[in-house]
Each structure stands twice: as C-alpha cells, then as structure tokens.
Chain A
Amino acid sequence: EVQLVESGGGLVQPGGSLRLSCATFRFTFRNYWMTWVRQAPGKGLEWVANIKPDGSDRYYVDSVKGRFTISRDNAENSLFLQMNSLRAEDTAVYYCVRGGGGIDYWGQGTLVTVSS
C-alpha cells in the first residue's frame, strides 16, 4: 500500500527555519505531483504548496510565498518543505499528500510549533 512518512517537525522560535521531509513508498514517485497541506490546531485544512513531477513547476498559497520552498528528490522518492521566517500562524500539523489536483494518499503529519 502507498505510504508517506513525514519528519522534521518540532518547536522553533519566530523567525526561525525548519525543513520538513516526506519519504514515500510503494508508488512511482517521479510520476506524481506532490502537495503539502497543513492544519492549525483545532482548525480546518489549508493547502500550502505543490510541485510538478519533474520539479519544474511549483505553486504556493499567498501566505507562504517567499518564505517556504517546496522541492523533491526523485532519486530518493522524497518531498521537502523548507520553511523560513516562521511565524506563530505557521503552527500546524503539516501533511505530505500524493497528487496535485485530486490529492489522494496522505501521510500521518508532522507538527510544527512556532513559539518563543
């Protein structure tokens, strides 16, 4: 079965940086768009960014543009999210999700807490 495993979350001070990783298994990673979705505590889902299979196109929600960078390593079947200039409002569980439009399989999520 398809599996996605996020890592890299944790506690970071405002203005700090964090890099999330997503290891993927049991599908042909290089053929799929990939997406990051986040969920603030007690809130709904928010689409964050996605990336084309070859990495040539990337899209972001306005609130993270210029601060977050989505990337991938097709040789390692891995997805990344580099998060800089973090703010309290970035506190959320971050999910790695397969697909770019009709996203289907989700990881279990990794919690990012931005607090001093």
Chain B
Amino acid sequence: AQRVTQPEKLLSVFKGAPVELKCNYSYSGSPELFWYVQYSRQRLQLLLRHISRESIKGFTADLNKGETSFHLKKPFAQEEDSAMYYCALRGNTDKLIFGTGTRLQVFP
C-alpha cells in the first residue's frame, strides 16, 4: 500500500535556525515525491519535487530510497516560511497520496 507519514504535527523554531520537516513513505516501486506548502489564507501550491533536484526558497529535499524518506530541509528559517507543509507521493496508479501535514512556526 502507498502511504506517506509526517510524524510531526507541529514544528516550532526561531528565525535563523535550521529546519527539517520529516517525511517517510511506503511504496514498493519508484515513486515520485513532492512537497506542497499552504501559507495562511492561500491555496495549496507545489514547493518542490524530487526529480527536479532544485532548491526553492532555500528549501531542499533529497530522496533516500534506503530509508524511504524525503525530508525537507532549510539551513536558516525565515518568518515567512511559517506555513503548513505536506509531503506527497505519486506511484504507479498516478494518485497523489498526501501525508497529514506539518505546521511550521518560525518565531522572530
């Protein structure tokens, strides 16, 4: 079965601190993995995808097939990073399966 687990409901850090939002997945094949973000009063939007291997707004995520993880990282958090973050997986059925989300709070 395809499953995405985000173990932390809430992650609170101070501005300038490193951030790591955890995501683990369960899938037997080669998935495509995404991070979506939802800022306050805005719609859900794609932040990054593992095949792009790019950094968006200072965030990066590396697919670790051995650990079945796709953690989202940023070396120095900014207040404007406060949002809800969802990890998502797309497998062979092409359905997008989301984790339950992690709320990131960045304090000044």
- Do the two chains belong together in a single complex? no
Q: Which residues does B use to contact A, with CB under 8 Å? A: none
A interface residue numbers (CB < 8 A to B)? none
